[in-house]
A and B are shown apart, each in its own frame.
Chain A
């Protein structure tokens, strides 16, 4: 049982003896320093990987939308336009940074920071593998929900500070949409916490298995519905179509980041794309078996960690594809429909699921549907 990535590495005898040899050589115990370095390197690597994934999100979005609309999409920069993301990055950096004259400059500069901060802080608990989780906090999933609500404040402030009418409308809509849809998402997560008996991602993923019949998605009928509630809510929380009202191009120009230019806009966009990946990862960990691979002994080795991370990335990217697919398939909702869907459909269904899961847990003693049907 590892709780952090450092403990995982220190559980290998080779690595431990290596550390103790260095300690002997230097005359002091260097374990705290090594632990810190592992954390720092791990955090840097994960940031780099996820930022790249976020960048590729923009590329994938364009390519897949082109595919759906029978176009070609970006194909000029590099093979298949793969370097489009680098070109975009260079463009973002070299654009002029303009703030409206009437803007509230302090808040204008702070808003993208809050969005970035809220998204990047969640990386600390995302489970890429049983060992490669930066830290497996006992309040893991709760922490993730809590810190990512900073994005809502960022969106609101971005809209407010610009002092532009489009931005203000987008910011108000965005904030109220993000906070509303947080409720069904939280309640669905709560149902999974109930089934797994813990809030840490290690516990939640560990109580599922590698094969679909061990996933929480098929644990009972209620958790099956809960997945769709969570997925819909997550789409809305990340402002993805069909819930992209805060930045509805045809109505609000560009919503809360109308007045943002250059790198500040780039940071908002990066936060948004990375957040989609994060919520896909959370949905995978909670419902679709997470990083589980067959074989417990295998899973602990370094090769097993690689396999786990691969499985996690494959599932998450599949879900990411579904998110993009939905965007280019469904029309946008009206703002009143948005609120009705959240409060009159998703929230009561989520509460129903929660109650159902609790009753199921007591009545069937925590067994899943498959265990009940096939193991008598």
Chain B
């Protein structure tokens, strides 16, 4: 492997800086060129197809969104742990340790599969079953 320095990360930083500059620049241009009319009540009202909005939109949401996020984060973390193992899999296979790595990898994935099977069985993956009108929504 050729010797590297941390400079390989420089384009990433430059790209992020460009994103910031682009954002600020575009908004500055818009600020300069765009008309700024009077902010009438109708103009700054949230759009609800012409009706006057009732209450705030920051009401309580159904908990199924959280359950989806929960399943997601567990799978996310497991895939993160699998990335370095997958990256060395081929090398170790060529060195003759393929079966050992495969067994470890498969046992890891089987636990992952248990998780998804559990959620499937309990109906957490269904969207409709857990549909409940939250009684807090009017408050």
Contacts and interface: CB of A to CB of B under 8 A. Distances in A.
**Within 8 Å by CB, do A and B touch in the complex?**
yes
Interface residues on A, range: 35 or more
Given A93-B34, A362-B98, A343 B71 contact: yes
B33 interface: yes
A375 interface: no
B36 interface: yes
Nearest to A197: B90
B65 A172 contact: yes
A301 B53 CA distance: 63
A136 B2 CA distance: 13
A101 B45 contact: yes
B102 A358 contact: yes
A186 B73 CA distance: 12
A143 B71 CA distance: 22
Nearest to A5: B11
A194 B11 contact: no
Interface in A139-174: 142-143, 160, 162-168, 172
A30 to B, nearest CB: 15
B23 A166 contact: no
Interface in A115-132: 116-117, 120-121, 123-125
Nearest to A177: B68
B72 A43 contact: no
B69 A176 contact: yes
A120 B127 contact: no
Interface in A201-248: none
A100 interface: yes
Contacts of B125: 339-340, 343-344
Contact of B46 (A47, A95, A162, A190): A162
A123 B127 CA distance: 35
A95 B109 CA distance: 52
A187 B79 contact: yes
Nearest to A134: B11
Contact of A351 (B94, B113, B127): B113
B47 A164 contact: yes
Contacts of B14: 39-40, 43, 124
A199 interface: yes
Interface stretch (A15-23, A71-79, A262-270, A314-322): A262-270
Nearest to B1: A1
B47 A259 contact: yes
A197 B89 contact: yes
B75 to A, nearest CB: 5
Contact of A47 (B22, B91, B113): B22
B30 interface: yes
Contacts, number: 226
A196 B90 CA distance: 7
Interface in B63-93: 65, 68-69, 71-72, 75-76, 79, 82-83, 86-91, 93
B72 A101 contact: no
Interface string A35-78: 11001101110010001000000000000000000000000000
A336 B99 contact: no
A366 interface: yes
A187 to B, nearest CB: 6
Given A43-B15, A98-B39, A165-B46, A137 B34 contact: no
Which interface residue of A44, A135, A338 has the most chain B CB atoms within 10 A?
Answer: A135
Interface in A319-350: 335-336, 338-340, 343-344, 347-348
A35 B7 contact: yes
Contacts of A103: 46
Interface string B88-127: 1111011000110010011001001100100110000111
Contacts of B102: 358-359, 362
Interface of A: 1, 3-6, 35-36, 39-40, 42-44, 47, 51, 92-103, 112-113, 116-117, 120-121, 123-125, 134-137, 142-143, 160, 162-168, 172, 176, 179-180, 182-183, 186-187, 190-191, 193-199, 253, 258-259, 262-264, 266-267, 335-336, 338-340, 343-344, 347-348, 351, 354-355, 358-359, 361-362, 365-366
21 contacts: A40-B14, A42-B11, A43-B11, A43-B18, A93-B26, A96-B34, A117-B20, A120-B19, A125-B12, A165-B57, A179-B69, A183-B76, A197-B89, A258-B47, A263-B29, A264-B30, A340-B125, A358-B106, A361-B98, A362-B102, A366-B93
